[in-house]
Chains A and B, each alone.
Chain A
Amino acid sequence: MSSDVRAAARPARRGPDGPRPASGARGPARPGGPSLGARLRRVPLLVWVFLLLPLAVELFWVFWPAANSFSLSLTRWDGISPAEPVGLQNFTDLAEDPIFRTALTNNALWVLGFGVLSVVGGLALAVALNKPGRGVGFYRSAIYLPMVVSMAVTGLFWRVMYQPGGPVNAGLEAVGLGSLQRQWLADPDVALAAILVAAVWRQVGYIMVLYLAGLKGCDATLEEAAAVDGASAWQRFWHIVMPQLRGVNTVVFAVTVIDSLRTFDIVWAMTRGGPYNTTQLLSTYMFQQAFTSGNLGYASAIAVVIFVLAIGFIITYLARQARAEEQS
């Protein structure tokens, strides 16, 4: 191990710049310290291997394929004969494609429905279950239990629930709403909403965990002071607690949109985009085009659209992480 040799030499070399750590530059050297060359020399070879190996794995399996998708989106390719460049043809075709438009609309509805329902539900539950008390631990566990069930299994669970003679219809009958009974997943009008309910069932727990952590970081004395001044519970929530949750809100917002654009498993498990493509999302349509129909170029174009829609939120999330990084 050459690194040991280098380390043995280090204490001696450290001698001259001994005062530096004491002057506040704790941990790795900050820019503005020694020159780039000096800093590079101080990083042992083993550490370069430690960094470059994982980086190479990610470059190979993530960044290189992602770059490939962009070039593939400009081709017509069936995976067997060579790809044939077609310029922006795929994208103009997409604009005319009624199924793509349905998928796009559905995805917009999905972001809204999934976001609003899981955030309102998760936030309300977090506020209700914030203070410890009898049964609170049990309630919390019950709410986030669905999170450990995979999206695919969630889909199957709810397929059972939605069967014509299944619990959902029987439950409606039992509470006197028998007229609402229907074939939930076979009815083009309600199939997407039915899937949404299943997805929200699984997501609420996650959002609740995020908000519970946010609430723990809130300053309780501010709320008490407002209560003494006569602010109602609702006013305290909106004017004292919510502003303090701004950071969590940004994360929740970005995570929800990124997750919504990725949603695939649950739709695939429940309807595969049917009936008559009414539950098609961008991801399921992309997958179908790629691996069922074999239109790899066209599918890549859909993937590029998903990327373009997601990138703004990815940057929002990254910017927040970068800022948090600087503060600590």
Chain B
Amino acid sequence: MTATTLAPGSAATPPLRRPRRARSPWLHVVMVPLTLLWLSPVAYVGLIAFRSFDDIAARGLAALPASFTLDGFATAFSGGGLVRALGNSITVTACAVLASLLLSSWAAYSLSRFAIPGRKTILLAMLAGNLLPPQILLVPVARISESLGIADTLFALVAVQVGFGIGFYTFVLHGFMRGLPEELFEAARLDGAGAGRIYLRIVLPLSRPAMAALAALATTWIFNDLIWALTVLRSESKFPITAALLNLMGGYSSAWNVIAAASLVAAVPTAVVFFLFQKQFVSGLLVGSNK
């Protein structure tokens, strides 16, 4: 960047350019094959998904495709209940992300802006809850959802996801809300705004970047979850896509084109979220790691 702003041929140009030129070729020599290798599993699965069953049976999984068909997708969608599973996943993800962000923004607002006694302890305890290994919760959670009569419902799955995630989201949002300028709050109070109106008019709009980052992150986490779904749900018709996929694997164990197609379908929604919100996603990953 700096090199281009200098007049061409000026004395400063060569030393600035040299390190760049020296570094570049090696980086690419290593990174190009590595990147290809990294993407190869996705590419292979993509190729297999569009091959026909007979082609795979005759020429093997590793062969380059000699056929192009959407049979794999068709079978996965018709026989595998993939549409219903996707619907379940989307419902659970949408409800859980909205509910978690709403609740945790409340908690973060009250902890960051009010003199609640012991608020630092409360905050760290909430974060600690999210760090617990889920295994220590599985058996009791299954039992509690049964005794509440909500076992095997999507509601139970949403509730567990919200309860387990809330500590982390609160912690992150607290860090963000604490940094909002106090002058705004003072001014709003002088204008007679109460805690509720300040939350709606000031805190929520200003926290949008942090909320977006968390939403991108939470979407992939909840959509990709498997263990809570297996713990709370019993009937196949309620399964989200991850659990349905493992079932499909049992039913079509040698139909690799069907399995590949179904895995791609399961991966697409989070990939879309990633590419649309790559910036928010990456900044979401960084929260909680503050260097």
> Which A positions have Cβ atoms within 8 angstroms of B?
1, 3-8, 10-11, 14, 21, 26-29, 33, 36, 39-40, 42-44, 46-51, 53-55, 57-58, 60-66, 68-69, 72, 79, 128-129, 131, 133-135, 138-139, 141-153, 156-161, 163, 165-167, 169-171, 201, 206, 209-210, 213-214, 217, 245, 247-248, 251-252, 255, 258, 261-262, 264-265, 268-269, 282-283, 286-287, 290-291, 296, 299-300, 302-304, 306-307, 310, 314, 317-318, 321-322, 324-325, 328
- Any A CB within 8 A of the CB of B126: yes
Question: Taking the nearest CB of chain A, how far is it from the CB of B147, in angstroms?
Answer: 11
Identify which of B42, B134, B163 gathers the most chain A CB atoms within 10 Å of its CB.
B163
Q: Are B274 and A145 in contact (CB under 8 A)?
A: yes
Question: What is the chain A residue whose CB lies nearest that of B62?
Answer: A170
Partner pick for A61 among B122, B163, B285, CB 8 A cutoff: B163
Contacts A66-B137, A145-B39; A61 near B159 (Cβ below 8 A): yes
Note all chain A residues with C-beta closer than 8 A to B144: 60-61, 64-65
Contact B138–A290 (Cβ < 8 Å): yes
Q: Which residue from A21, A36, A321 sits with its C-beta under 8 Å from B186?
A: A21
- A57–B136 CB distance below 8 A: no
The secondary structure that dominates the A interface is helix
Q: In the complex, what's the smallest C-beta–C-beta distance from B76 to chain A, in angstroms?
A: 12
Q: Residue B282 at the A interface, CB < 8 A?
A: yes
What residues of A have a CB within 8 angstroms of the CB of B35 in the complex?
138-139, 142-143
- How far is it, in angstroms, between the C-alpha of A213 and the C-alpha of B290 when the chains are bound? 9
12 A/B residue pairs, CB under 8 Å, sorted by A: A7-B189, A58-B126, A62-B137, A65-B137, A133-B20, A135-B28, A138-B35, A142-B35, A201-B41, A264-B134, A291-B138, A302-B135
A58–B286 contact, CB under 8 A?
no
Q: A69-B137, A264-B226 are in contact. Are A156 and B245 (CB under 8 A)?
A: yes
Asked whether, in the complex, the Cβ of A61 is within 8 Å of the Cβ of B160, the reply is: yes
Q: 0/1 per residue, B245-268, Cβ < 8 Å to A?
A: 110010000001001100100110
Which residues of the other chain, B, contact A261 by a CB distance below 8 angstroms? 133
* A55, B167: Cα distance in complex, Å: 9
Interface-side segment among B7-15, B77-85, B101-109, B206-214 = B101-109
Contacts A58-B126, A61-B162, A134-B24 given: A287-B138 contact, CB under 8 Å? yes
Chain A contacts for B140, CB-based, 8 A: 64-66, 68-69, 72
Nearest CB in chain B to that of A163: its residue = B61
Tally chain B residues at the interface, Cβ within 8 Å: 112
Instruction: List B residues at the A interface (Cβ < 8 Å).
Output: 20, 23-24, 27-28, 30-31, 34-35, 38-42, 44-45, 48, 60-62, 103-104, 106-107, 109-117, 119-120, 122-124, 126-144, 159-160, 162-164, 166-167, 170-171, 175, 178-179, 182, 186, 189-190, 192-197, 199, 220, 223-227, 230-231, 242-243, 245-246, 249, 256, 259-260, 263, 266-267, 270-271, 273-274, 278, 281-282, 285-286, 288-291
Q: How distant is the Cα of A12 from the Cα of B193 in the complex, in angstroms?
A: 14
Contact of B134 among A36, A201, A262, A321 (CB under 8 A): A262
Closest CB pairs A-B (n = 6): A61-B163, A150-B224, A170-B62, A65-B140, A7-B194, A50-B106
Q: Which of A21, A29, A40, A147 has the most CB of B within 10 A?
A: A147
- B116 and A36: CB pair below 8 A? no
With A and B bound together, what is the CA distance between A29 and B116 in angstroms?
Answer: 9
Report the minimal beta-carbon distance from A13 to chain B, rounded to whole angstroms. 11
The smallest beta-carbon distance between B137 and chain A, in angstroms, is: 4
B192 CB to nearest chain A CB (Å)? 5
Assuming A141-B278, A290-B139, A306-B133, is B166 touching A166 (CB within 8 A)? no
Tell me the bound Cα distance from A3 to B28 in angstroms: 61
Partner of B132, one of A26, A53, A314: A314
Whether the Cβ atoms of B114 and A54 lie closer than 8 Å is: no
Which partner residue on chain A sits nearest B162 by CB separation? A57
User: Taking the nearest CB of chain A, how far is it from the CB of B282, in angstroms?
Assistant: 6
Contact: A304 with B136, CB < 8 Å? yes
CA distance A161 to B166 in the complex (A): 37
Alpha-carbon distance A3/B116, docked complex (angstroms): 16
- Contact yes or no, A53 B117, CB < 8 A: no
User: Given A135-B31, A251-B289, 15 other A-B contacts at CB below 8 A?
Assistant: A46-B194, A47-B114, A54-B107, A57-B159, A58-B163, A62-B132, A66-B137, A133-B23, A144-B282, A148-B281, A149-B224, A150-B266, A167-B44, A210-B289, A258-B133
CA distance A141 to B179 in the complex (A): 30
A269 and chain B: residue at smallest CB distance:
B246
In this complex, what residue of B is CB-closest to A38? B115
A325 to B192, CA, bound (A): 31
Q: Which residue of B lies closest to A247 (CB)?
A: B291
How close is B150's CB to chain A, nearest CB, in angstroms?
Answer: 12
Closest residue of chain A to B31 (Cβ to Cβ) is A139
A61 touching B164 in the complex, CB below 8 Å, given contacts A145-B39, A153-B245: yes
